[in-house]
Amino acid sequence: MKPLPEPNEVSVRVMAASLNPADYKFSKEALGPIFGIDFSGVIESVGAEVHGFSSGDEVWGIAPGCLADFAIANPDKITKKEPVWDWVHAAAVPTAYLAAYQALGRQKRKKWSDATVVVIGASGGTGIATVQLAKAFGASVIVGICSAAKAQFVLQQGASRIVDYNDSNAMKDAEDSTSADLVVDCASASGGGEDYFSWSAKLVQTSGGICVALSSEKNETWAELMTNGTAAENGSEVMLVQQNAEDLRVIQALLRQANMLPVVGKELPFSKRDIDTAYDALKSRRALGKIVINMHEHPV
């Protein structure tokens, strides 16, 4: 059934939706009964108080419950889609690229052309987004921390060098030799016992740079995050993504100017079985880029 928007909302026909760990980490009370946060699609109808969007507009952004044929979106959290992206690539962007963009925005000490950025978990959804956007900003050195199997791909997306986190000697060498202006930790506290908080802190010890982490296993950190959107933990600033259309527009322009496409590692059709397969792949913590459900050939 097509949902009707409130006066300050739009309804969209969903063409593609991407998966995020938040879908299964947060409770259904917090996110609603239907999974999905990130979407691309076509506006069906526009609430009476909404300006700047019309029915038929092609858009992408945030719409909780978007793993469905139709969803409701807040117009402050969507933007119009540029033709250069297809539905699947547009749906891959919102949360991962917002997190990457907002984490990189915390680096204010240096010109990007002098800055060293370390990305932990560089091959996953947020990690590869951070590598791409750091490259688009012109960061001098981008060190990607990922498995050897994904090294070539992460280099192709803009990393200057790779450190395999399974190689303890290489990790120790990197710890001793890297002076980072920004460490973006997309791996700690992500369900597999990953913990890079102390390691990250060592990389900025002499540089005065900052560490940003995207997750925590501590209740007190989450309590602070939910109140302030940011929290301090073990030398890192843990951040919560701020969903807003202005940043979505900037990200779209940045990727266009850098001639980069959002990274889609897996694309599956919209069926119960394929969605289960997609979440199994995401929960395995081995995703390459984003996993996207393509819904636009699904009959409504």
| Residues near ligand NAP (CB under 6 A) | 20-22, 25, 95-96, 99, 120-121, 123-127, 145-147, 150, 165, 186-187, 190, 192, 194, 214-215, 239-241, 282, 285-287
Q: Select 74 or 216, whichever has its Cβ closest to ligand NAP.
A: 216
Judge contact between 104 and 133, C-beta under 8 A: yes
Task: Report the candidate in 43, 196, 172 with the shortest Cα–Cα distance to residue 119.
Answer: 196
User: Phi and psi at residue 17, in whole multiples of 5°?
Assistant: -140, 140
Task: Report the candidate in 53, 66, 62 with the shortest Cα–Cα distance to residue 3.
Answer: 66
**Residue of this chain nearest to ligand NAP (CB atom):** 124
Nearest distance in Å: CB 102, ligand NAP: 8
Task: Report the candidate in 146, 234, 229, 228 with the shortest Cα–Cα distance to residue 189.
Answer: 234
Nearest distance in Å: CB 297, ligand NAP: 25
What does each C-alpha distance from 243 to 9, 23, 120, 215 come to in angstroms?
15, 15, 23, 17
Q: Are strands 78-80 and 58-62 parallel, antiparallel or unpaired?
A: antiparallel
Q: Select 71 or 146, whichever has its Cβ closest to ligand NAP.
A: 146
Nearest distance in Å: CB 235, ligand NAP: 17
Q: Select 11 or 215, whichever has its Cβ closest to ligand NAP.
A: 215
Burial class (CB in 10 A: 0-12, 13-18, 19+), 30: exposed
Which residues lie across from 185 on neighbouring strands? 120, 213
Compute how many other C-beta atoms are within 10 angstroms of the C-beta atom of residue 210: 20
Nearest distance in Å: CB 113, ligand NAP: 27
Task: Report the candidate in 287, 292, 253, 286 with the shortest Cα–Cα distance to residue 269.
Answer: 292
Coil vs helix vs strand at 51: coil
Residue found under tokens 């990130």: 38
Q: Select 95 or 116, whichever has its Cβ closest to ligand NAP.
A: 95
Q: Select 193 or 208, whichever has its Cβ closest to ligand NAP.
A: 193
Nearest distance in Å: CB 124, ligand NAP: 2
Nearest distance in Å: CB 216, ligand NAP: 9
- Within 13 A of 59's CA, how many CA atoms are on the CB side? 30
Q: Select 80 or 286, whichever has its Cβ closest to ligand NAP.
A: 286
Q: Select 8 or 284, whichever has its Cβ closest to ligand NAP.
A: 284
Nearest distance in Å: CB 229, ligand NAP: 9
